[in-house]
Structure 1
Amino acid sequence: MEKEVYVPDLNAVQRGLLTRLVEQGLLYGTLLIPSTLIKEIERQAKEGLASGMAALEELTKLRELEMQGLVNIEVVEVKERDVDDAVRKVAKEKNATLVTGDRVQALVATTMGIEVFFAGEYRPAKLKFEEFFDEETMSIHLKEGDVPKAKKGRPGEWEMVPLSNEVLDAATLENMALEIMETARSRRDAYVEVDRPGTTVVQLGKYRIVITRPPLSDGWEITAVRPIAKLSLEDYDLPEKLIRRLEDRAEGILIAGAPGAGKTTFAQALTEYYARKGKVVKTIESPRDMVLPPSVTQYSKEHTSVKELYAILLLSRPDYTIFDEMRTDEDFKLYMDLRMAGIGMVGVVHATTPIDAVQRLIGRVELGMIPSIVDTVIFIDSGSVAKVYELQMTVKLPTGLREADLARPVVEVRDFLTGELEYEIYTWGEQTMVVPVKRVAKRGEEKILAYVYRVLPEATSVEVKDGVVVVTVPKWAGKNVLKKAKKLKKLEDRLGMRIKVKYE
């Protein structure tokens, strides 16, 4: 068999293409490794990047294959500092075949007259971490020094279950991580969202994978999350009133809930609903873990700046932008800027109660602007829509206050389905108050009753109805009521409410 000469690029080494090709008998002869390539791999590995560790592991395996006589490896000294330039120069000068899985690299090399071995997408039957998943598994949690565990069930109804009695060691988890990285760099449905010293985040098909390692964590850890159910908006059985709201009026929406409550699943269903209605929909995700139709463009916040995202969305003018997992001030600012530019926005935020979602805007935006930015809050609990709030701006006397000159701008937070006022948000001095109306009203009513009973202890009942205090007294107490008419008039002035006396 005639010996061939190959030059791999960084992509081929990071993806582990070379060992597979050698073991399959598709690559044989001599591998020329430019020194610049080795230096770049060393730099990445020293910085703790998973890509560098994966490439270093690949070079180690190649040396083992060389010892078996399957391939020869030679390091070629080059002066070029750019890795791609160095690889192409060596391939050109040595009349060698350039091995790559990068389509751009392959096209550039072909244009330069270099022979190319282009290795396409690699998809093993099943990765090692996937063996821990079954139909009921929401996520797996693999930690060095601990047994593998999994969350099984559904949002809001799950339990943590040990998967075996075997304690995981660092070598096992590192091999899993390298396999994940290798596969992620070769599949079109995969993205390496973050690769920093100590942490790597990968979206691999339907799996969102977070890998941490020392020095960030005290040991290797792999967490993989997978949506167990893909729902449509119709599956939530929403009231027709809410459907009309989402279609016609709601353009500043917050989807809130605790971690694992099903926020992203609902956001995904809403995204697809808007897409089916012929709306232009785009998403901002980190990582891109929503499974959406091709008509929806998904942007990653990790691969560009907020300024560039703003410019892209402003120029492309989508009807709706779905912003998954808003956490930082920068995220909220982007949401607000796009909303004020007239783009319909749907933001996903962590919140333990529905009002917490609204409170996350306080301090980030002027009070009077809140209803212009967020008009609807949808709270998800255990995978269902548990509460819907509508936000409105008005000028009024806050509940519980009596002085007319204390009227001020108030943000009303109402239960959308019942119309009941639940919270009022207003400024008091330098503080922003978020006041539960029911509690204030009850407390105020208790005070009114106390005042009335103090003036008319013979009253059998006191009720507050539509701003009127209705006092019921026995007929025999009529003379006492007349004697205390002046006191009742003063009490009316104090309460700012009319007092009506009924006899039984």
Structure 2
Amino acid sequence: MYTLEHVPVYVPDTSVIVEGVVSKLISEGKIRGKIIIHRAVIAELESQANKGRATGYAGLEEIRRLRELAEKGLIDLELAGQRPSLQEIRGAGIGAIDAIIRDYAYEAGATLITADRIQALVAEAIGVSVIYIQPHGEEKLRLEEFFDENTMSVHLKEGSPPRAKKGTPGNWVLVDLSAKPLSREDVETIAQETVEAAKRRPDGFIEIDREGSTIIQLGSYRIVITRPPLSEGWEITAVRPVKKLHIEDYNLPSKLLRRLDERAEGILIAGAPGMGKTTFAQALAEYYARKGKVVKTIESPRDMILPPDITQYSKNCADIGELHDILLLSRPDYTVFDELRDDQDFRLYIDLRLAGIGMIGVVHATTPIDAVQRFIRRVDIGMLPSIIDTVIFINKGRVETVYELRMTVKLPTGLREAELARPVVEVRDALTGELAYEIYTFGEQTVVVPVKQVSFSAFGERIKRLIERMLPGAEVEVKDNLVVVNVPRVAAKALMKKMKKIKKLEDKYGVSIRVNMTG
């Protein structure tokens, strides 16, 4: 379409301005003529930038580039149209700004440039000439140049040299990639290029865009951008999995694999930050999918690299109630929740698990029992084994500990009065069966008690001999971590004199000694 002066006129919408497409088309010689920037675009970008959103900064930077191209004589640049009302700006997310720009292009007889498929279809429907910019394939970004095959993460901060963590989880070093500090302009340019790529590439999306921070998933990279006022300067942190592992790469014991196949449906994957929890969860999700299970994930952000038959939901793009309804209605065999953070996350995990859906939760914890304790204040302890049956602790990229939870009624370890028997959640090593912790209520408190495992094969006979020497005529029986001493009533006086020594034996060997009077 041409104006009376036979000069092509183009009207770009916000989508192509944010992606930085128009300046590239001009630089490559694909567009010449007049570019009209509608004031609605400026208003929307200004609103986004005032909220601290990266898309607003990226769009304003693109307009600056267009001004420079106009000064070089490559195009004519013009501002036109009325500034939208506050209500129209607020309605940008439902198409109010798009409609203003589209209508202006129709009235001016101009060609609309857009990267929004819906905008392009509507414009064509009303007779507007359209250049639709389709998503491009992957392209090498400046950020990616900081990575090599051994790089786990890259850390860019204005005023500091670029740094990278190289190695593997639990075994890495922080190295300087250059002696020259990065300027604010350097970091801003890399950030804007990354935002533009996330909007343009099919494997990229902006997960969160808040005042002062932006979280992006771009291929295998999880990128966090912070800027003033949240941080004192611009900073970019990009994390990438060094290696994608399958469940077979962990060399899991056959007993654990059988448990994962047959019994484990309430799984917690615990570990410190950077120890490989998400990598293991990713491998486990793929393992269940290969077994013919329907698997879905809840992520924030979505950074797992999974096959297309596993649906990945973003917690940032839906509220907890919506995710709850979707998963209850679709009934997957397993749902991977990466990561459990606040009360809403834990409530969703608990509700879905009690509804019969297999759950795999990823949680930060420095010890395996810490992961279980995150649930104790949120549910009655009698429900714990119904919600969590397997805890897998990851340390330095490998499975270090596996616990199972069982409910029983017993006398807790260390208590001696039979009337103190109560419901107890036993936390046992899933591979050896050894008791590690007991969880029970004592008064109004819920207590988690570590149980020191005693190898009676090593010193059981020694305890028995010591007590028999102390109390001649006593019958001593050693079982589990309990020593039962039956003393004739005639020896009661001798027993009273030896009680302090018996107490010292308890403390020394970490066992419970129960004394009964007989005869």
TM-score, normalised to structure 1, is 0.90
* Correspondence for 2:51: 47
TM-fit CA distance, 1:5: 1.0
TM-fit CA distance, 1:342: 1.1
Q: Does 1:180 align with 2:194?
A: yes
Would you say the 8 A contact 1:468–1:497 is kept in 2? no
TM-fit CA distance, 1:496: 3.9
Q: Quick one: which of 468, 484, 500 aligns to 2:491?
A: 484
Correspondences of 1:241-252 after superposition (within 5 Å):
241-252=255-266
* Correspondence for 1:288: 302
Amino acid at match of 2:414: G
Q: Does 1:333 align with 2:371?
A: no
* Correspondence for 1:6: 10
SS state of the match for residue 349, structure 1? strand
* Correspondence for 1:70: 74
Would you say the 8 A contact 1:256–1:348 is kept in 2? yes
Correspondences of 1:286-325 after superposition (within 5 Å):
286-325=300-339
Would you say the 8 A contact 2:286–2:306 is kept in 1? yes
Q: Quick one: which of 102, 108, 112 aligns to 1:88?
A: 102
TM-fit CA distance, 1:228: 0.7
Alpha-carbon distance in structure 1 between the residues aligned to 2:179 and 2:422: 63
* Correspondence for 1:214: 228
Structure 1, 404-413 or 481-490: larger mean CA deviation: 481-490
Q: Quick one: which of 224, 228, 237 aligns to 2:242?
A: 228
TM-fit CA distance, 1:204: 0.5
Amino acid at match of 2:491: K
Q: Deviations over 1:450-492 (max 9, x none)?
A: 9x76992789x98843476488xxxxxxxx9997367559989
TM-fit CA distance, 1:34: 1.6
Cα distance change on mapping 1:146 and 1:458 into 2, 3 Å = farther
Would you say the 8 A contact 2:102–2:112 is kept in 1? yes
Alpha-carbon distance in structure 2 between the residues aligned to 1:416 and 1:388: 6
Percentage of identical aligned residues: 59
Alpha-carbon distance in structure 2 between the residues aligned to 1:346 and 1:296: 14
TM-fit CA distance, 1:191: 1.1
Alpha-carbon distance in structure 2 between the residues aligned to 1:361 and 1:469: 34
Would you say the 8 A contact 1:467–1:497 is kept in 2? no
Amino acid at match of 2:356: G
Q: Does 1:102 align with 2:116?
A: yes
* Correspondence for 2:178: 164
SS state of the match for residue 194, structure 1? strand
Would you say the 8 A contact 2:482–2:514 is kept in 1? no
Would you say the 8 A contact 1:449–1:462 is kept in 2? no
Amino acid at match of 1:214: P
Would you say the 8 A contact 1:255–1:263 is kept in 2? yes
Q: Does 1:415 align with 2:415?
A: no
Q: Deviations over 1:49-92 (max 9, x none)?
A: 11000000001110111111111122222375321111110111
Cα distance change on mapping 1:468 and 1:412 into 2, 3 Å = closer
Q: Deviations over 1:81-136 (max 9, x none)?
A: 32111111011111111101111211121122211101112356421111111110
Alpha-carbon distance in structure 1 between the residues aligned to 2:471 and 2:463: 10
SS state of the match for residue 214, structure 1? coil
| Count of matched residue positions in the alignment of Structure 1 and Structure 2 | 488
Alpha-carbon distance in structure 1 between the residues aligned to 2:310 and 2:482: 55
Consecutive unaligned residues of structure 1, counting only runs of 5 or more, are 472-479
Structure 1, 247-256 or 31-40: larger mean CA deviation: 31-40
Q: Deviations over 1:172-230 (max 9, x none)?
A: 00000000001000011001001111100000001000011111111111100000111
Amino acid at match of 1:141: H
Q: Deviations over 1:348-391 (max 9, x none)?
A: 00111111111111111111111111110000011111000000
Would you say the 8 A contact 2:453–2:481 is kept in 1? no
Cα distance change on mapping 1:469 and 1:122 into 2, 3 Å = closer
SS state of the match for residue 438, structure 1? coil
Would you say the 8 A contact 1:455–1:488 is kept in 2? no
Cα distance change on mapping 1:258 and 1:499 into 2, 3 Å = farther
Correspondences of 1:402-481 after superposition (within 5 Å):
402-438=416-452, 456=470, 464-466=478-480, 469=483
TM-fit CA distance, 1:288: 0.8
Cα distance change on mapping 1:347 and 1:229 into 2, 3 Å = same
Amino acid at match of 1:22: I
Alpha-carbon distance in structure 1 between the residues aligned to 2:150 and 2:434: 39
Cα distance change on mapping 1:482 and 1:426 into 2, 3 Å = closer
Alpha-carbon distance in structure 2 between the residues aligned to 1:165 and 1:401: 63
SS state of the match for residue 283, structure 1? strand
Correspondences of 1:365-404 after superposition (within 5 Å):
365-404=379-418
Would you say the 8 A contact 2:454–2:481 is kept in 1? no
Cα distance change on mapping 1:305 and 1:470 into 2, 3 Å = closer
TM-fit CA distance, 1:169: 1.4
Alpha-carbon distance in structure 2 between the residues aligned to 1:44 and 1:367: 47
Would you say the 8 A contact 1:199–1:210 is kept in 2? yes
Alpha-carbon distance in structure 1 between the residues aligned to 2:155 and 2:243: 19
Would you say the 8 A contact 1:455–1:487 is kept in 2? no
* Correspondence for 2:505: none
Alpha-carbon distance in structure 1 between the residues aligned to 2:469 and 2:231: 68
Alpha-carbon distance in structure 2 between the residues aligned to 1:229 and 1:124: 20
Consecutive unaligned residues of structure 2, counting only runs of 5 or more, are 89-95, 503-511
Amino acid at match of 1:92: Y
SS state of the match for residue 298, structure 1? strand
Q: Quick one: which of 15, 19, 23 aligns to 1:15?
A: 19
Cα distance change on mapping 1:436 and 1:295 into 2, 3 Å = same
